[in-house]
Amino acid sequence: MLARVSSTPAFKRLPRAVREQQMLDAAVKVFSRRGFHAASMDEIADDAGISKPMVYAYLGTKEELFVACLHREGTRMMQAIAGAAAPDLPADERLWRGLRAFFGFVGAHRDGWAVLYRQARGEQPFAGELAAMRARMVEVVAGMLDHALRAEGREVAEAELEVVAYALVGATESLADWLADHAEADPEKTATRMMNVAWVGAAQLLQGTTWRPPAA
Amino acid sequence: MLARVSSTPAFKRLPRAVREQQMLDAAVKVFSRRGFHAASMDEIADDAGISKPMVYAYLGTKEELFVACLHREGTRMMQAIAGAAAPDLPADERLWRGLRAFFGFVGAHRDGWAVLYRQARGEQPFAGELAAMRARMVEVVAGMLDHALRAEGREVAEAELEVVAYALVGATESLADWLADHAEADPEKTATRMMNVAWVGAAQLLQGTTWRPPAA
Amino acid sequence: MLARVSSTPAFKRLPRAVREQQMLDAAVKVFSRRGFHAASMDEIADDAGISKPMVYAYLGTKEELFVACLHREGTRMMQAIAGAAAPDLPADERLWRGLRAFFGFVGAHRDGWAVLYRQARGEQPFAGELAAMRARMVEVVAGMLDHALRAEGREVAEAELEVVAYALVGATESLADWLADHAEADPEKTATRMMNVAWVGAAQLLQGTTWRPPAA
Amino acid sequence: MLARVSSTPAFKRLPRAVREQQMLDAAVKVFSRRGFHAASMDEIADDAGISKPMVYAYLGTKEELFVACLHREGTRMMQAIAGAAAPDLPADERLWRGLRAFFGFVGAHRDGWAVLYRQARGEQPFAGELAAMRARMVEVVAGMLDHALRAEGREVAEAELEVVAYALVGATESLADWLADHAEADPEKTATRMMNVAWVGAAQLLQGTTWRPPAA
DNA sequence: GATGAATGAGGGTTCATTCAT
DNA sequence: AATGAATGAACCCTCATTCAT
């Protein structure tokens, strides 16, 4: 009773950073499987093999925990893309590599994608977080378009560019959703398709082709 | 107590059909504002100016109520679009009118749109309902593309068409989201932008332009 | 719209007494199937083919309605027994006929029995009603025993008699429960068995045989 | 705020096993007083001096809680009886000791008895649990009768035996009900009475005395 | 006489969150 | 550092019961 031997198994008392990653892994998994609301802190703690108070101590509130997931997965995704699409490549090459990296990431981390987008879109507390992430992507895409246009000596109002970029990002997310839902689908092929859609549109823009509403 | 005049407020003891619409109005509003989970049946009932049991009596469970909202808003939207895009018009004209009707609807029913998509996308129980609606839209768009291509004597594999349509629908939803979030934005202008993106893409397809991944 | 013809179907507007029986029929059925608490006034009204306010108008509260069922079924049962066991017969003959009538009734009105006993026993509001009914039966049985004993020139303290009667009634109820649960069981045979148990006990009493606890 | 002495009341933060017993105690009490349906989890939790979620955490649903009560009380009762009626005693001795233990238990745990029988009999979800318990008792009694009969060189069809046993058990339950309702009644005396009824009946059986229905 | 419309009240259940050890 | 024990606060849902027509 008194002389408790101190030889706890070697894999306990892990350093904080490791524990946090375990928790985030569990959280991403559970959030992804159940959705934000249906996910319970109990299940997350269980899944992480840790007691609930620990989760609170390390990662705070359920909302904060979710945001942490968002951050980690979002950062990973951004890094994957940034690592693939070097800024000194020509625009179409950059776009293609970026898309390939993106769909590759989604295909490999379907859980992460579900957390990032499908959950976050619906729950208001995270609309801001998500909007910020999306804004970054829109900005990147718009930058690419702008760069390509300028190289051709053309110029388009920033607002217009942004909307087009927004649409392209939307289309991409939509295909990513589809990819996440189809376990058998091939990320590479999906990227090719999206590239096709995007590039033919962009090519048109490069040539100045525009559609105008008919005179009412 | 003495001689109570019988002019009770006109809004009591209404027939079922009326009350149901009031409830659905309230439900759409509250679901849209709070999200499915955060919305409480109490608030919906309050907002409809009725007691909770009536909601259950007429529209059933919270889930059933949400589905009822989905159905009503979805039907309204589909009718708005179908009413505008007569099937005997040329493809570009149909697309334009359809988009204009769509963004017009979203602009006028921002709440409804939020319920339809932003909420439904996230909550698993409704993924099916939503997928069905989106599938219908994808099918329509794909049909339009196919029709236009055939008119030009060209033909594209159905799977390819569907993915392109999927991407276009995704882009449209994305812009609709953006529109719903920007009270000052002009639906007509947004439709024009989307038309631009879609049509220049489609025009390329008509010409057989295609992007191919570089040989790895 | 104005000239509503007054030829309502001939089977509506029934006299009150008939309506009440219909309601009681429905109530007995529903109470028996669901149990007192699980039974809802809605279901009873539906089953009676009448609107809920009518039920309240005719038979009052849910509790009152249940008591009304209790009364009707109890009275019917008592009448069935009383009609069979004429008071001028010898004790064993009376007992036998009474038991046969009783089990016959239970077998034929399994619903009624379920309402009367199984439900009423559990719900405190009806403990009194039920105790009164049982008391009447105990009294009758005790009377029979007493009569038979006196005919043999023997006499037993009333309290003793009552307890024995109580036990016999309990045994009878127990077999009735069993009978109600076994659709295939034969009431006549069950009555014979109970008679056997009762009469051999009674016969012993008649002879003065008694068991005494061993000296501790 | 200043130097709060650490002698908090001794009844907080108790280990699970203790709390579970407290909860069961409270549950038995409240179920017994109010009946299954009328009992509220709130009252049970209050009575146990604990918050509702703990009840759910430890003992589950209201139904599961009731079953837990059933199990605990049933087991206690069975143990009390089994401990008293050693299987190597002569039949009458066993019966007597068993009955004495039984009525003693009922007298000492009137609440438990009410839960076990009065409530459980009425509520359909528990009919099975209860039937199982009663079946065990019937089996034991039938076994005793059979044993005694064989010792006398006689034999009775099993079905007959079972019905007699069923009746005896019913009679016993009935007296137990009566005992539970009469605070002033003496368990020992009640046991003697039941023994009297049972044993004189059994004695008759031993002698082969039987009642036969008169030829119709 | 008869009913659709309406509700007050309450019960079971769950969960994020925090003590006290 | 780590956890079992504990809870406040809601939320969904149901039902007996009654108006107003």
* Residue whose entry in the numeric block shows the structure tokens 């989760």: A55
Q: Residues of C numbered 89-108 whose beta carbons fall under 8 angstroms of chain D's beta carbons: which are they?
A: 92-93, 96
Confidence of residue A3 (pLDDT cuts 50, 70, 90): very low
B175: nearest CB among A35, A122, A167: A167
In this predicted model, what pLDDT tens digit does every residue of D141-156 receive, in sequence order?
888 888 877 887 777 7
Q: Is the pLDDT of residue A1 over 90?
A: no
| CA D110 – CA D176 distance, rounded (Å) | 9
Mean pLDDT of chain D: 84
Cβ atoms within 10 Å of D76's Cβ, excluding its own = 14
User: Is B11 domain-assigned?
Assistant: no
pLDDT band, residue C9 (cuts 50/70/90): very low
Rounded to whole angstroms, how far apart are CA atoms B96 and D115? 73
With an 8 Å CB cutoff and a minimum of 3 pairs, decide whether chains B and A touch: yes
Residues 6 or more apart whose CB falls under 8 angstroms from that of B2 comprise none
Which positions in chain A touch B164 (Cβ < 8 Å)? 193, 196-197
d(CA B192, CA A210): 10
| pLDDT > 80? residue D36 | yes
Q: Is the dihedral of CA A98, A102, A103, A104 positive or negative?
A: positive
Tell me the pLDDT band of C156, cut-offs 50, 70 and 90.
confident
Chains with 3+ CB–CB pairs under 8 A to B are: A
Does the CB of D13 fall within 7 Å of any strand F atom?
yes
> How many CA atoms lie less than 13 Å away from D78 in the CB half-sphere?
15
Residue C164 above 70 pLDDT?
A: yes
pLDDT tens across A28-45, in order?
999 998 889 999 999 999
* CA atoms within a 13 Å half-sphere pointing along the CA-CB vector of D215: 0
* pLDDT, mean of residues C86-113: 88
Q: Do C203 and D203 touch (CB under 8 A)?
A: no
Indicate whether A81 pLDDT > 60. yes
Helix B187-207 vs helix A158-181: crossing angle, to nearest 10? 70
The pLDDT of D35-47, averaged and rounded, is 94
Where helices occur in chain C by DSSP H, the ranges are 16-34, 41-48, 52-59, 62-84, 91-108, 110-113, 120-122, 127-151, 158-181, 187-207
Percent of chain A with pLDDT over 70: 88
Q: What is the pLDDT of residues D193-208, one digit of tens each?
A: 888 777 776 666 666 6
Determine if residue D162 is left, alpha or beta; phi over 0 gives left, psi from -120 to 50 gives alpha, anything else beta.
alpha
Greater confidence, D159 or C44? C44
Decide if D19 is inside a domain: no
pLDDT of C109 strictly over 70? yes
pLDDT bin (cut points 50, 70, 90) of residue C5 is very low
The winner for highest mean pLDDT among B158-162, C11-15, D59-63 is: D59-63
Question: What φ, ψ does residue A32 adopt, rounded to 5°?
Answer: -65, -40
Mean pLDDT of B43-72: 95
Token digits for B181? Answer: 């979030």
- Tell me what pLDDT residue D56 has: 97
Distance of residue A65 Cα from the nearest chain B Cα, in angstroms: 18
* C-contacting chains (≥3 CB pairs under 8 Å): D
Q: Is residue B194, in this structure, part of any structural domain at all?
A: yes
The reply to whether residue C122 touches residue D121, judged by beta carbons under 8 angstroms, is yes
Residue C56 CA to nucleotide F17 C1', Å? 9
Domain membership flag for residue B172? yes
The span from the CA of B113 to the CA of B173, in Å, is 10
Residue A7 lies in a domain: no
Compute the C-alpha angle C146/C150/C153, nearest 5°: 145
Range of the domain at A191: 16-207
CB contact under 8 A, C37 and D37: yes
Give chain B's domain count. 1
Contact C96, C135 (CB under 8 A): no
| Cα dihedral across residues A111, A113, A114, A119: positive or negative | positive
How far is it, in rounded angstroms, from Cα C190 to Cα C36? 28
Let me know if chains B and D touch, i.e. at least 3 Cβ pairs under 8 angstroms: no
C35–D209 CB contact, under 8 Å: no
The confidence band for A105, taking pLDDT boundaries of 50, 70 and 90, is very high
Task: Kindly report the bases of strand F lying within 7 A of a protein C-beta atom.
Answer: 1-21
In a domain, D66, yes or no: no
**Chain-chain contact of A177 with B194 (C-beta, under 8 angstroms):** no
Q: C186 or A3: which carries more pLDDT confidence? A: C186
3-class state of residue A214 by DSSP: coil
Q: How far apart are CA C71 and CA C21, in angstroms?
A: 12
Residues of C in contact with D194 (CB under 8 A): 167
Would the CB atoms of D170 and C166 count as touching at under 8 Å?
no
Least confident of A168-172, C96-100, D81-85, D199-203: D199-203
Please name the member of B166, B200, B210 whose beta carbon is closest to the beta carbon of A201.
B200
Cα–Cα distance between C31 and C43 in angstroms, integer? 10
Determine the pLDDT at residue B60. 96
Q: Token pair for residue D29?
A: 């009490």
Among positive and negative, which fits the CA dihedral C168, C169, C174, C175? positive
Taking the C-alpha atoms of residue A57 and residue A128, their distance in angstroms, rounded to an integer, is 25
Q: What is the pLDDT of residue A2?
A: 39
For A126, which residue in chain B has the nearest alpha carbon?
B35
Q: How many whole angstroms separate alpha carbon D193 and alpha carbon D182?
A: 15
Predicted confidence (pLDDT) at residue B102 exceeds the cutoff of 90: yes
| C-alpha–C-alpha distance, residues D6 and B12, integer Å | 60
Dihedral angle sign, alpha carbons of residues D107, D109, D115, D116: negative
A32 and A70 in contact (C-beta within 8 Å)?
no
Q: Do D210 and C200 touch (CB under 8 A)?
A: yes
Q: Of A135-139, B7-11, B105-109, C149-153, where does mean pLDDT reach its minimum?
A: B7-11
CB contact (8 A) between residue B171 and residue A170: yes
Q: Are D99 and D198 in contact (CB under 8 A)?
A: yes
pLDDT digits (tens, 9 = 90+) for C175-208: 898 888 888 999 998 898 888 877 776 666 666 6
Structure tokens at B83: 């009413």
The pLDDT assigned to B3 comes to 42
Q: Which nucleotide is nearest to A52 (CA to C1')?
A: F3
pLDDT higher than threshold 80 for residue D160: no
Q: How many angstroms separate the CA atoms of A30 and A43, rounded?
A: 7
pLDDT at A80 over 60: yes
Question: Which nucleotide has the least CA–C1' distance to A63?
Answer: E16
Q: Do the beta carbons of residue D91 and residue C211 sit within 8 Å?
A: no
Contacts of D201 in chain C (CB under 8 A): 197, 200-201, 204
As a whole number of angstroms, the distance between CA B168 and CA B170 comes to 5
> Which residues lie closer than 8 Å to B45 by C-beta, 6 or more apart?
B23, B26, B51, B52, B54, B55
For residue D200 the two structure tokens come to 């004189």
Query: Which residues does chain B have within 8 Å of residue A168's beta carbon, measured at their own beta carbons?
Result: 171, 197
Say if C141 falls within a structural domain: yes
In this complex, the residue of D163, D199, D213 whose CB is nearest that of residue C211 is D199
Q: What is the pLDDT of residue B11?
A: 53
Whether B38 contacts chain A with CB within 8 A: yes
B203 confidence band (pLDDT: 50, 70, 90): low
Of D96, D122, D197, the CB nearest to C167: D197
CA nearest to C79, candidates C59, C115, C104, C111:
C104
Distance CA A169, CA B172 (A): 11
**Residue B191 CB partners (closer than 8 Å, separation 6+):** B96, B99, B100, B102, B103, B104
Task: Quickly give D60 CA vs E14 C1' distance in Å.
Answer: 12
Which of A20, A18, A14 minimizes the C-alpha distance to A56? A20
Q: Measure the CA–CA gap between B176 and B197, rounded to whole angstroms.
A: 14
Q: What is the pLDDT of residues B74-99, one digit of tens each?
A: 999 989 998 998 888 887 888 889 99
Q: Is B214 on the interface with A (CB under 8 A)?
A: yes
**What pLDDT was estimated at residue B208?**
67
Instruction: Judge whether residue B68 has pLDDT over 50.
Output: yes
Task: Average the pLDDT over each of A86-90, B31-35, C65-69, C201-205 and give the range with the smallest value.
Answer: C201-205
Rounded mean pLDDT of chain C?
83
Residue C3 scores a pLDDT above 50: no
Reduce the DSSP state of residue A40 to 3 states and report it: coil
Q: Is the pLDDT of residue B205 over 70?
A: no
Taking Cα atoms as reference points, which of C85, C196, B9, B213 lies closest to residue D167? C196
- pLDDT over 90 at D92, yes or no: no
Average pLDDT score over residue span A93-98: 88
Cα separation, D97 vs D85, whole angstroms:
5
Strand E, nucleotides < 7 Å from a protein CB: these are 1-21
Q: pLDDT digits over D5-15, tens only?
A: 444 444 578 99
Q: Which of residues 146-205 of D touch C (CB under 8 A)?
A: 160, 163-164, 166-175, 177-178, 190, 192-197, 199-201, 203-205
Residues in chain A closer than 8 A to B92 (CB atoms): 211
Mean pLDDT, chain B, integer: 84
Q: Is residue C24 part of a domain?
A: no
Return the sign of the alpha-carbon dihedral for residues B128, B131, B137, B139.
negative
Question: Is residue B79's beta carbon less than 7 angstroms from any atom in nucleic acid strand F?
Answer: no
Note the pLDDT of residue A12.
Answer: 53
Distance (Å, rounded) from C-alpha B142 to C-alpha B162?
A: 6
CA distances, B92 to each of B96, B97, B99, B195 (Å):
6, 9, 10, 9
Separation between the CA of B174 and the C1’ of E14 (whole angstroms) = 35
Say yes or no to pLDDT of B54 above 80.
yes
pLDDT at C1 over 60: no
Q: A59-79 pLDDT, tens per residue?
A: 999 999 999 999 999 999 989
Tokens of C211: 């068991």
B155 vs D60, residue with greater confidence: D60
Q: State the CATH number of the domain containing residue C131.
A: 1.10.357.10
DSSP assignment of D47-88? HHTS-HHHHHHHH-SHHHHHHHHHHHHHHHHHHHHHHHS-TT
pLDDT at D14: 93
What is the DSSP code (8-state) at residue D214? P
Interface list for D 128-147 with C (CB within 8 A): none
CB contact under 8 A, D122 and C124: no
